[in-house]
Each structure stands twice: as C-alpha cells, then as structure tokens.
Amino acid sequence: MTGLLVVTAVPAEAEAVQAGLADPTVAVMPVGVGPAVAGAATARLLALAEAAGRPYRAVISAGVAGGFPGLVAVGGTVLGTCAVAADLGAESPNGFIPVDELGMPPELLGGGTAVAADPGLLAALRAALPDATVGPVLTVSTVTGTAPSTEALRRRHPDAVAEAMEGYGVAVAASHAGVPFAELRTISNPVGPRDRGAWRLREALTALTTAATALR
C-alpha cells in the first residue's frame, strides 16, 4: 500500500502543497477545476494505483477556497467535516431543492449530496492543525458572487465554513473506491459579492504550504 494521494485543482496549489512536504509517500496531483473533472481524474488515479497493486491509503482534496465571513478569515485553514454538493438539484418557485429530495434512488447519487470525511483521517488532521476551522465545505460549479446568492447559500447550509469547486467530486471517487477521504482548504477570499481586489491568493497558497506539513 502506498501513502496519501493529495489532489488539487491547479498546479499552483499542488506546488504549494509539495513545498510543505518532505515525504515521498505523499503523491500530489493537480487534477483540474470543478467536481466532474476532479472526480473523474481522482477515480482514474485510484483505479490505476489499485490495478498496479499499490493502492492509496487515503485521498485529500486540497487547495484554496472562499470562506464564509465571520467563520473563517482570509488566510485561515479549514478542515471539512463533509463535502456538500451545494448546487446539485433543481430550482422551484419555493426555492432550491437538493437532488436527494427529488425522489432519485440513493445509489444514483454517489452517496448523497453530502459525503462525510473519514473520522480517523479528520481527527488526525485536527490534531495536527488545532487552529483550523472545522465544518462542512460546499462544492459549487459556479462560485458565489452576489449578495442574494450568498444569502440563499447561507440559509440552505448555515453550518458551512467554506466553498470550493472539487471536494464533492473527489469525495465520491474516494467513496466508490473504498478509500478514506478528507478536505483541506486555505482561504483566499470571503464568500460574497465578487471582488477580485479582495482576493489574497498568495497568502492562501503560503498558508497551504504551512498546512501541508500536517500531511507528512
């Protein structure tokens, strides 16, 4: 059995993670942006490793994210208790309906619209990162960028601490492969009206390098 597989969306995130590691048993791979490509690429990596007789023992979805104001500051670190498919569902006159409330069989939903982090893996990360904010991390295909959409998201997911674009896809791939999953994020911007001038990507990537030491 090999070590951890850490997947990020883009190379800059992978480089930040690698800068905090000195462990050859941790593989760090940028797999693309969004839940579909991240899930497909992660599933392929897991399948190839298993076919080669060297399966990974756990998968971490890592990278930068938006943090919900008042819960986590820009530059802060987040550990996800679960990855939530926050915009997978249907609109209705009465508001958004999550896909698992539309009457579809559970086996078609990849484990439901929320996939929990592995308890043991999450506990180990919490012990290594005691200052991290812990809570659900939302996966969205469209990054939140207006006050009304932020308010609607907060109403639907009042416990969520951050939003990103890949965690749920990675979590479903890990679940199908029977491999423990967790999500590690550092905050580059507040969730809310889109303001690129308020983003702090460099600070978030530096924080990601620091947090990656917990993956050794």
pTM comes to 0.90
- At 150, give phi and psi (nearest 5°): -65, -45
Alpha helices, H only, 52-200: 119-128, 147-156, 167-177
pLDDT score at 1: 40
Containing 11, the helix (H) or strand (E) segment is: helix 11-19
pLDDT score at 196: 77
Residue by residue, pLDDT tens for the chain (216 residues) are 468 999 999 999 999 999 999 788 899 999 999 999 999 999 999 999 999 999 999 999 999 999 999 999 999 999 999 999 988 767 777 777 777 776 776 665 556 788 999 999 999 999 999 999 999 999 998 888 889 888 888 988 999 999 999 999 999 999 999 999 999 999 999 998 887 777 898 999 999 999 999 987
CA distance 172 to 111: 7
Q: Which of 167, 136, 188, 149 is nearest to 34 (CA)?
A: 167
Inter-CA distances, 169 with 53, 148, 215, Å: 24, 26, 21
pLDDT score at 108: 59
pLDDT score at 111: 61
The answer as to CATH 3.40.80.10 being correct for domain 4-215 is no
Task: Let me know: does 4 contact 56? Beta carbons within 8 Å.
Answer: yes
Q: What are the domain boundaries of the chain?
A: 4-215
CA distance 180 to 173: 10
